[in-house]
Structure 1
């Protein structure tokens, strides 16, 4: 911490203090945490920044603070100041007992930044986010880039990381900051292909970029379909051969109906926007839509659109799981399913009439789905490239 309270009640900051000032300040102790009221120790070393540390665990933020956390807070504070914001560092909000790293006003709304440098339970992130929103504060989670497990086009999307996703309208991104390199990296177009892995596009920004540039979320238009074909095929093959496959609920559903995943058509498992809202792998939840609303229906069947909503949210609630985002509405949760139905409509399977869908074409299973599979799938995606990518262009 850079902020402390003296016994007199005066609040002091050592953010810009020289070594001499800090040495003099040490004589004025004891120091107390403005949030939890517990005693603090003023630490100053040759290699580490001067800071206050709790003698015991803080009940407000029990995870403590690393050197990277202190450095990141300091640099983010100055970054906001340079752009005309008036941030408050480590401000304690007594109304609901939270101490965000930074508090400032953004677009006539109180906003907070939490710079996360260590892994904490996802339930804690969910709790803090919900508390901020309940009291009309806009929460922004920024993660230290070193905590992300990633490769060229993929990112590990576990419960902890997924809770840090920044949402703005119909766009989503993971905002990371590397204080030592003074660099922001924004991971956009997050498209899961399994429960905990996703394709993503990383955009790097220097420390001189503006707040609006980074948080506007304008993804580059990149054709990621070749990568999707590779990772989605790998997921599907592994799903069938992993230990415990016989007990997998999805595979059991297939086999009980004499269906094999390798023979399911290419229109199942399509990358679409907003899929990160659904924790269930896209191949699975898209199959359920395909099966219940196409495969088992006759041509000419009329389907009320709210039937799809009831099916995904109620009938299939044991099969389809959502990620717990407190600020996502039911309408927004439904968007991935609506996108998929729209995609099937562009292929001619449905005709839309107001709030109804009419089945116009019966789907077909693949014959010899394991033969020449890669080439056939590539040909399908090449043919439908614009149909798929247009969904992402419309959300840019």
Structure 2
């Protein structure tokens, strides 16, 4: 830990740049107390780790604080100094006795109170959710920043994200979702933006690297960048993924494959209109080609040109599949103002762009033409090429 109290109640914060000889002199004269458990702590001034306080053996909160790694100590120290240099009122290791939580940094900005947590180790989902909910219920805006060591880029535009990493997802004012990360060794922020998953763990995304010396808080709280994904790139990766997925199905995949077969459809011959990327598809853990196939089977397949589709029909299908656990909603503790059903509406609006539907009101669409399944690989390839030629520009995200 980096903060402690003296016996006289003075706070010592090692987030500031103290000289070693100053601290040695202070250590000779003072005893230090943990602000949380009120037990004695020792001031460690070794050459191998950064200066820090440590609980004596047997301390009540020793187990929690002594598990801190160098990366965590140094990371929160750098983030604290970064905020202070921007004249942002900040408290390192602030302990809120009312909620019995101690964010790495508490700070006030633009009239709002933030709880910054720099997370280097994996947290159980229940713990992450409870901490986040407690902050929100008590007037804090949680700002979870992931250690960059958890980011695993497969290729330039592809990244693997676990449910734990998705927990760090937060919303910019534009409605775009992103994950902030930080690397104390390189002293760079990394922003995972334009996240468009095509499987449970694999996603297209743009990873920005921003030196801490040249970036301000607004750029982390509200990034405004957009990095459009081309349909050709998406289509190529989706095709490969579906082929491998269907060729080597797991036990949990078989009900979906059986339903597709019972409907007289071929998973290897999906039309290009099924499995499209939409802005907020990250809200749904189920791969896009699966939930869009369910929507087709439940509603779209039964409609002929000029028939109407209501959002109530779409919602009924959506809820039915959720209740059967055929569509899984991703648990995102920090994303509170976006309804997962909006993903379905985004997909319908995409079909409207492609002239399959026309919107007739807030709750009604009219079918203009049916989505047709190819019968052969040749037909599928022709349909895909026609689709790319006609609609590439329409799929560029605004």
Task: Say if 2:187 and 2:211, in contact at 8 Å, map to a contact too.
Answer: yes
Most deviating of 236-245 and 261-270: 236-245
When residues 250 and 29 of structure 1 are mapped into structure 2, their CA distance, relative to the original with a 3 A threshold, is: farther
Instruction: Give me the whole-angstrom Cα distance separating, in 1, the residues matched to 2:32 and 2:7.
Output: 7
Offset at residue 214 of structure 1 (A): 3.5
When residues 216 and 254 of structure 1 are mapped into structure 2, their CA distance, relative to the original with a 3 A threshold, is: same
1:14 aligns to 2:5 (yes or no): no
Offset at residue 148 of structure 1 (A): 0.9
When residues 44 and 253 of structure 1 are mapped into structure 2, their CA distance, relative to the original with a 3 A threshold, is: farther
User: Which residue of structure 1 lines up, in the alignment, with residue 395 of structure 2?
Assistant: 388
User: Which structure 2 residues correspond to residues 326-365 of structure 1 after superposition, within 5 A?
Assistant: 326-329=333-336, 332-354=339-361, 355-365=363-373
Offset at residue 265 of structure 1 (A): 0.9
Instruction: Give me the whole-angstrom Cα distance separating, in 1, the residues matched to 2:190 and 2:348.
Output: 33
SS of equivalent to 1:150: strand
User: Which residue of structure 2 lines up, in the alignment, with residue 51 of structure 1?
Assistant: 52
SS of equivalent to 1:155: strand
User: Which structure 2 residues correspond to residues 66-81 of structure 1 after superposition, within 5 A?
Assistant: 66-81=69-84
When residues 37 and 288 of structure 1 are mapped into structure 2, their CA distance, relative to the original with a 3 A threshold, is: farther
Task: Say if 2:283 and 2:330, in contact at 8 Å, map to a contact too.
Answer: yes
SS of equivalent to 2:164: helix
RMSD: 2.5
When residues 14 and 348 of structure 1 are mapped into structure 2, their CA distance, relative to the original with a 3 A threshold, is: closer
Instruction: Give me the whole-angstrom Cα distance separating, in 2, the residues matched to 1:246 and 1:332.
Output: 26
CA deviations 1:189-241 (Å, max 9, x no partner) are 00001011111012222222121133332224444434322321121011112
CA deviations 1:350-382 (Å, max 9, x no partner) are 22211212223222111213x486675355234
SS of equivalent to 1:248: helix
So what's the TM-score if we normalise by structure 2? 0.89
So what's the TM-score if we normalise by structure 1? 0.90
Task: Say if 1:101 and 1:115, in contact at 8 Å, map to a contact too.
Answer: yes
User: Which residue of structure 1 lines up, in the alignment, with residue 117 of structure 2?
Assistant: 114
1:87 aligns to 2:87 (yes or no): no
Instruction: Give me the whole-angstrom Cα distance separating, in 2, the residues matched to 1:330 and 1:173.
Output: 14
Q: Aligned match of 2:256 in 232, 250, 257?
A: 250
Instruction: Give me the whole-angstrom Cα distance separating, in 2, the residues matched to 1:246 and 1:147.
Output: 27
Instruction: List runs of 5+ in structure 2 lacking aligned partners.
Output: none
User: Which residue of structure 2 lines up, in the alignment, with residue 147 of structure 1?
Assistant: 150
Offset at residue 38 of structure 1 (A): 5.0
When residues 130 and 176 of structure 1 are mapped into structure 2, their CA distance, relative to the original with a 3 A threshold, is: same
Offset at residue 329 of structure 1 (A): 4.7
1:368 aligns to 2:373 (yes or no): no
1:160 aligns to 2:164 (yes or no): yes
User: Which structure 2 residues correspond to residues 186-265 of structure 1 after superposition, within 5 A?
Assistant: 186-207=191-212, 208-244=214-250, 248-265=254-271
Most deviating of 20-29 and 52-61: 52-61
SS of equivalent to 2:305: coil
Task: Say if 2:168 and 2:334, in contact at 8 Å, map to a contact too.
Answer: no
Instruction: Give me the whole-angstrom Cα distance separating, in 1, the residues matched to 2:204 and 2:237.
Output: 9
Instruction: Give me the whole-angstrom Cα distance separating, in 2, the residues matched to 1:19 and 1:63.
Output: 21
User: Which structure 2 residues correspond to residues 255-294 of structure 1 after superposition, within 5 A?
Assistant: 255-294=261-300
